[in-house]
Structure 1
Amino acid sequence: MPFINVKQLSGRTDEQNAAITRELTAAYARITGVAAENIWVAIEEIPATHWSSGGVTFAAKRAAAQE
């Protein structure tokens, strides 16, 4: 069974996460021919204080953008 693992910053709604799951499943099924019920999708939400790029957390980047 294919397993799609999405890692994203936290903050999206349940409805947005459900749409992400639906769209990824549909795209994978369309491209590969695998039945949708055999495709697993997991969404991992990571706090902005725990994710960084260039040594700066996304929480710090967001705070700086609001100044």
Structure 2
Amino acid sequence: MPYINIKVTDEQVTLEQKRLLIEGVTELMVNVLQKNPATTHIVIDEVPLGNWGHNGKQYTGTKKH
């Protein structure tokens, strides 16, 4: 029984985007590992930007490319 946890920043991820993530990850598990979609669980956690960091820095809510 696979359990996949997806963490994203809380930047207005829509229900439709979440639905597509769940469908896509489930399909990936079926195609790559031959897992049963009925027993594959996907959880999406939305993390506030202030609780997210990268390269030793805390995100401040501004995007840098």
Please name the residue that 1:41 is paired with. Answer: 42
Aligned to 1:4: 4
**1:15 equivalenced with 2:16 (yes/no):** yes
Q: Which runs of 4 or more aligned residues in structure 1 lie more than 3 Å from their structure 2 counterparts after TM superposition? A: none
Q: Going by fraction, where is helix more abundant, 1 or 2?
A: 1
1:30 corresponding residue in structure 2: 31
Q: Determine which structure has more spread, i.e. the larger CA radius of gyration.
A: 1
2:53 matched to which residue of 1? 52
Note the aligned Cα RMSD (angstroms): 1.5
Shift of 1:19: 0.5
How many residues get paired? Answer: 63
Shift of the alpha carbon at 1:14?
Answer: 1.0
Q: Please give the TM-score of this superposition, normalised by the length of structure 1.
A: 0.81
- CA spacing shift, 1:59–1:29, aligned 2, 3 Å: same
Report the Cα distance in structure 2 between the residues aligned to 1:37 and 1:27, rounded to whole angstroms: 14
Structure 2: give runs of 5+ residues left out of the alignment.
none
TM-score of the superposition, structure 2-length normalised? 0.83
Note the C-alpha offset of 1:52. 1.1
Structure 1 vs Structure 2: percent identity of aligned residues? 22
